[in-house]
Every structure is written in C-alpha cells, then in structure tokens.
Amino acid sequence: MNKMDKRKLLVVSDTYLPRIDGTVRFIEEFVKHCKKEFEITLLVPKFSDKENKLGVKAIFLPVSRLIQPLPTYPSIKLNLGNLIKIKRAVRESDIVFAQGPAALSYLAVYYARRYKKKAVFYTHVLPWELLAKSKSSFFWRTIAKIVRKISVYFYNKCDEVYLPYHDLEEQLKSYGIKTKTRITRLGINIERFALTKNKEASKKKVKLNEKKIVIGYVGRISKEKNLEILLDAFKKIQMPQISLLLVGSGADNLVNKFKETKNCVVTGFVNNVPDYLNAMDIFVMPSLTETTSLATLEAMSCGLPVIATKVGFIKSYLVKDYNGIFFPRDSSTMLALKIEQLMKDPELMRTLGTNARKMVAYSFSWERSVNKIKRFLLDV
C-alpha cells in the first residue's frame, strides 16, 4: 500500500511518554504495527522537552501544571494556540482515534463531528472511576458523576467505541452509551515481557539485593491504586529477607511514604520495565479501579505469581489458585498473609507463574489484538 492509498489516522491521547501506563503502551505497539497501513499522526500532551515521535508525525500540546482534573493527568492548556492545533490536525485527518481519558480526546471528538470526520474511541480508563476512587469527599463524588455524563456524551458522538472486555460493554450501556461498540482485547508483547533465565542476575541488573524476595508493583502511584494497603501489608510481614519495589511515579505525598520506608525502592518513570519485572518474585496489583490492567498482564507474561483485587477485567483472566490469587481490597492483613503464603511455598509460586505465562501467551498476544483493531479501523 503506497502512501497515497493510506487513510490518515489521528491518534489522540491525554497521556504520553515519558509516562508509562497502559494507554502509552498501547500507542507504542499500535504505531509500530500499523504505520504501514495508515498515515499516522499523534496528537499528544507535551510532558517532556524530549519529543519522542515513535517514528511518525507528532503534534505536541503544552500542558498546564495548574489544571489536573484527573489524578496524575495534567490537562493541556486550554488556550487559542492549542485549539488551533487540534482543529487543524482533525481537519487534515480521515479518522480520529481517541484514547482518552480527558479534555484533549474529547475536544478532538468534538471537532471530528464538526468537520464530518470519522471518530473512534478506545476506552482504556474510566475517568469517573478514577475521580471517585482517588477522592473521598461528596463534592468529588458529585464531580465524578458529571464527568461520567460528559464521557458518555462524547462516546455517543463517536462512530464506534472499542472496549477491551464484554463486562465493560454492559456497564457502559447501562450508563446510556448508544454508539456501536466492538470488543477487542489489549495485547502484550510476549517477546519483550518474557521469563528471566536468572533471577539473581536480573536483581543485580537493577541494583537490588539478589538475596531478598522482591514484592513489586508497576503503575501510577496514586490513591485509586490503593497502594497504602500494600505499604501496610509490607510492614506487617515478619520476614527480614524481603524488599518492596514500586516502578512508577505519581503523587508526592504517597511517593514519600514509600521512600521513607526501610527496604522500599521507588524508581520513578523508567523505559526498561521488563528488567524490573524480571527482578520481582511476587507482583501485587491492589487497585480500586482498573479496566484491563496491562501492568498485571505484563507481570504474568514475565511468569510472576500475581496477587490482585477483583476489579475490571482482572477478575476474569486471573483464576484463583491457577494463575494468581485474590485478596479483599480493604484488608492489608489478608494481603500480608497471601504474600507470606507464597513466600513459604516456592512450588506454588512457580506453578502460578508458569500458568500465568501460558495464559497470556495464548490469549493476549499483541499480534492477535492489533490485527483485530486494524480490521475495525479499516472498516470505519
């Protein structure tokens, strides 16, 4: 397919590099696998002076550190310059492929309708749940309901909405979504997120004590991720040979609590996530809200035993005592007991990790996922 035959695809996201989250991971893999079929342009916030374009054209919009409607998601500046860039980018495209979860994606959908362009939304995050779980006051719960209504409004302005699992489809329809929905799972790069051949060497590589059992987490460090439960559980474990590793960054007050804890390491944003996963012995996802949770799937792809809460798609692909373990989201004591159970039973750890890798490799390969999304977009 030559360049003249390619459809112009504008990929819009409210999060981008150097941040590492599920949406950014999707964009990286999608661009890599689809730039032959589409003429891709990225429309993304500028979080760093380094403008990583992923090998395609990219339009970067300055952000406002003062406007942060969602946890750890600074908004683009709502000024004339940014609006002109958004309008021009939409006008020059054939399809707007929005990733969410905030103002930039919604504005792109608005202008897509205005200029009679096709608009597709891939729902990676439910912004109203982020708000409701990260803020506890009545005021913020009310704001979360308003954000849900706004989100549903813009979903209904799209030609199609892509969802990563069936239960989410039913949930969104109950909120009033009438747009055509398609189910397409997110994928995992199973070659990149692979088993380590030498656990001790992997720990040394990221400067961790190779003699300690490493309990790990990857993702945003924010309230809705329920990480204080993980911290409390870690402090309750009466074993000296353990350490806690958090790969990611976020709210300063939470980050500082972990940094002040003995035998705890917080990395900040990193590009070599597989190296850190391979240094872990147990992965914990204590979150209050998730959709797919690519971080959990990536840990499973690396052969790690997982302990998680029953949220989002996790409750479907994680099978108790087969490829993972669940714990009650509000009980640090139960989480501590589950971690100790695994530490005392190396054979169970190996079994859970082996089954986790098999399941991800069979059901969540990126090739299968991206080919399905590619077909959907070409249909649009």
- Strand pairing report for 180-183 and 213-218: unpaired
Q: Residue 6 is inside which H or E element, if any?
A: none
For residue 340, what are the contacts with CB-CB under 8 A and spacing of at least 6?
A: 237, 239
DSSP structure class, residue 322: T
Give the residue carrying structure tokens 């709502």: 78
168 three-state secondary structure: helix
For residue 98, what are the contacts with CB-CB under 8 A and spacing of at least 6?
A: 12, 13, 105, 106, 108, 109, 119, 120, 121, 122, 158
Each residue's pLDDT tens digit, 265-304: 999 988 899 999 999 999 999 999 999 999 999 999 999 9
CATH for 3-187+365-379? Answer: 3.40.50.2000
Provide CATH 3.40.50.2000 ranges for the chain: 3-187+365-379, 199-363
Each residue's pLDDT tens digit, 230-247: 999 999 998 889 999 999
The superfamily in CATH containing domain 199-363 is Glycogen Phosphorylase B; (3.40.50.2000)
Angle at 373 between CA 367 and CA 379, to 5 degrees: 135
Global confidence as pTM: 0.89
Angle at 228 between CA 188 and CA 168, to 5 degrees: 40
Q: Residue 234 and residue 113: Cα distance in Å, rounded?
A: 50
8 three-state secondary structure: strand
Q: Indicate the average pLDDT of the chain.
A: 93
Each residue's pLDDT tens digit, 305-360: 999 999 999 999 999 999 999 999 999 999 999 999 999 999 999 999 999 999 99
362, with CB counted inside 10 A (0-12, 13-18, 19+), is exposed
Q: Which of 244, 264, 239 is nearest to 337 (CA)?
A: 239
pLDDT given at position 336:
97
Angle at 373 between CA 32 and CA 287, to 5 degrees: 85
